[in-house]
Amino acid sequence: MALDVQEIRSRFPGLARIDGDGRPFVLADAPGGTQVPESVIEAIAKYLRTSNANTHGVFTTSRETDALIDEARRAGADMTGADPDEIVFGPNSTSLLFSLSRAFARTLEAGDEIVVSKLDHDANVRPWLLAAEEAGASVRWIDVREDDVTLALESLDDALSHRTRLVAFTLASNAVGTIPPAEEIVHRVHEAGALAAVDAVHLAPHRVLDLRAIDADILACSPYKFFGPHLGMLALRRSLLEGWTPFKVRPAPDAGPARWETGTQNHEGLAGLVAAIDYLADVGRTYGVPASPTRRDGVVAAFAEIREHERGLTRRFLDGLSALSDVRLWGIADSSRADERTPTFAIRVGDQLPQNTAQELADRGVFVWDGHYYAITIMERLGLLDSGGATRVGFCHYHSIDEVDRVLEALDSSG
């Protein structure tokens, strides 16, 4: 059954805001962080009202917090296709990847090589570059094709060698929306004897994540990008979780995923995370056909419906954009290739600075981002960084076709 967008939208209080003329805002800033459903807000508030305590105490609220953390790991596993004891939490994905890269650096030797992608957010580039620098290792790059800003797999093959120890790449570009062929890339990486570290932050609200299916070793995502609170989450292959040595204080746990978590966690945020993943599972049960009643199968079913809905949004926007002669798009422009991208679009209007375009759209009640969004290397590669980056329009499953048309109308009248 197709998603009922109005019913979906009714669950998100942030989408009800209106401008001075009584017209709803179009929050096309989803790649920077999605809105959250009321159930997430309530879960956070309920924890703070009733169970707010630190861990490992002998009293009720502390035990409830311990149980919440366990449930959050189970929910994280259901979101990522990992096991609960492979889920690590932190303040954000960037911090987690920096922490992990410090441990990885200890395994490197001079002459080793790492490979990073020009398509990635800097959070999945800079930590590995610094690890290589610390160990005296070398760095190689995977380039993109200029015509559609997709990863050039021949460039990956050229970068791989018997000295490659890790390859980091994104599952979807937060700048231009490209979805690389992850399973094929990981297969080539493992054939070379290297680890695969994937950034799933941008893909997470659009497609189902599955650590096992793509056979990745490290997967990073951020709940605030998939309808939850500001947190970071890693799904980390058990052999790495147990074999690498984290940087941590005493007397933090010496076993399990908690040995990678520094300090007291954001417990109310973990309550919101569970609620966000429960929300996705409910979408799957309401509109999809789950293989079983489990939360994981509900999540999988949800993303089957989300993918179909977003395919329509993507095609509508690309087809409409093709009629706007003064708007340039970077990335996949062919609407028949909608499955190869997310509904995230990097554009420029004539010779207008991206910030000015974003301001004009904001004046019309359409909220979008401008700049580089920390996808610094791809902006450099496309020659956009020094002139303000691009204007980024981003949709997700709670957007309607009417909102896509409003954005196109606003773009047509800007500049």
- Are residues 196 and 271 both part of a single domain? yes
Residues in the chain: 415
- Are residues 270 and 158 both part of a single domain? yes
The answer to whether 236 and 260 have CB atoms below 8 angstroms apart is yes
Question: Which residue type sits at 303?
Answer: F
**pLDDT category of residue 20 using cuts at 50, 70 and 90:** confident
Average per-residue pLDDT for the chain: 96
Long-range contacts of 48-52 (CB under 8 A, 24+ apart): 48/268, 51/267, 52/267, 52/268
**pLDDT category of residue 415 using cuts at 50, 70 and 90:** low
CA dist 299 and 97 (Å) reads: 25
Question: Which residue type sits at 360?
Answer: E
In Å, how far are 66, 246, 324, 404 from 409, measured between CA atoms?
Answer: 50, 51, 10, 9
Model pLDDT for residues 147-188, shown as the tens digit of each residue: 999 999 999 999 999 999 999 999 999 999 999 999 999 999
- Are residues 247 and 313 both part of a single domain? no
CA nearest 158: which of 147, 143, 148? 143
**pLDDT category of residue 250 using cuts at 50, 70 and 90:** confident
Percent of the chain with pLDDT over 70: 99
**pLDDT category of residue 348 using cuts at 50, 70 and 90:** very high
Greater model confidence, 269 or 415: 269
- Are residues 264 and 327 both part of a single domain? no
pTM of the model: 0.96
| Site of tokens 């980091």 | 168
pLDDT at 91: 95
Model pLDDT for residues 79-121, shown as the tens digit of each residue: 999 999 999 999 999 999 999 999 999 999 999 999 999 999 9
Model pLDDT for residues 280-297, shown as the tens digit of each residue: 999 999 999 999 999 999
- Are residues 90 and 203 both part of a single domain? yes
CA dist 126 and 379 (Å) reads: 15
Residue 55 in tokens? 């861990």
Model pLDDT for residues 349-403, shown as the tens digit of each residue: 999 999 999 999 999 999 999 999 999 999 999 999 999 999 999 999 999 999 9
Q: Burial level of 372, CB count in 10 A (0-12/13-18/19+)?
A: buried
In Å, how far are 74, 221, 382 from 347, measured between CA atoms?
Answer: 39, 25, 12
Q: Is residue 89 helix, strand or coil?
A: strand
pLDDT at 251: 67
**Is residue 36 one of the residues assigned to a domain?**
no
The phi and psi torsions of 138 (rounded to 5 degrees) equal -100, 160
- Are residues 182 and 205 both part of a single domain? yes
CA nearest 81: which of 239, 166, 200, 259? 200
Instruction: Point out the domain boundary residue: 276, 303, 329.
Output: 276
- Are residues 153 and 263 both part of a single domain? yes
CA nearest 313: which of 288, 341, 294? 341
Question: Which residue type sits at 383?
Answer: G
Least trusted range by pLDDT, from 64-68, 250-254, 339-343, 355-359: 250-254
**Is residue 211 one of the residues assigned to a domain?**
yes
- Are residues 160 and 266 both part of a single domain? yes
| Site of tokens 């009629």 | 323
CA nearest 405: which of 308, 326, 304, 312? 312
**Is residue 246 one of the residues assigned to a domain?**
yes
CA dist 119 and 115 (Å) reads: 12
**Is residue 141 one of the residues assigned to a domain?**
yes
Greater model confidence, 55 or 255: 55
CA nearest 196: which of 207, 177, 212? 212
pLDDT at 16 over 70: yes
DSSP state of 25: P
pLDDT at 318 over 80: yes
CATH assignment at residue 65: 3.40.640.10
Write out the residue range of the structural domain in which residue 20 sits.
5-28+294-412
**Is residue 197 one of the residues assigned to a domain?**
yes
pLDDT at 60: 96
Q: Are strands 26-27 and 232-236 parallel, antiparallel or unpaired?
A: unpaired
What strands, in cross-sheet order, belong to the sheet with 390-394? 327-330, 344-349, 390-394, 369-371
- Are residues 217 and 330 both part of a single domain? no
CA dist 66 and 64 (Å) reads: 5
Residues 6+ apart with CB under 8 A from 207: 171, 172, 179, 303, 306, 307, 342
Average pLDDT value for residue range 307-327:
97
Q: Is residue 413 helix, strand or coil?
A: coil
Model pLDDT for residues 115-149, shown as the tens digit of each residue: 999 999 999 999 999 999 999 999 999 999 999 99
| Site of tokens 């094929």 | 184
**Is residue 222 one of the residues assigned to a domain?**
yes
pLDDT at 248 over 90: no
The answer to whether 86 and 235 have CB atoms below 8 angstroms apart is yes
CA dist 370 and 36 (Å) reads: 22
The answer to whether 217 and 237 have CB atoms below 8 angstroms apart is yes
pLDDT at 1 over 90: no
Buried b (16+ CB within 10 A) or exposed e, 153-164: eebbeebbeebb
pLDDT at 253 over 80: no
pLDDT at 272 over 70: yes
Instruction: Point out the domain boundary residue: 214, 241, 276.
Output: 276
Structural domains in the chain (count): 2
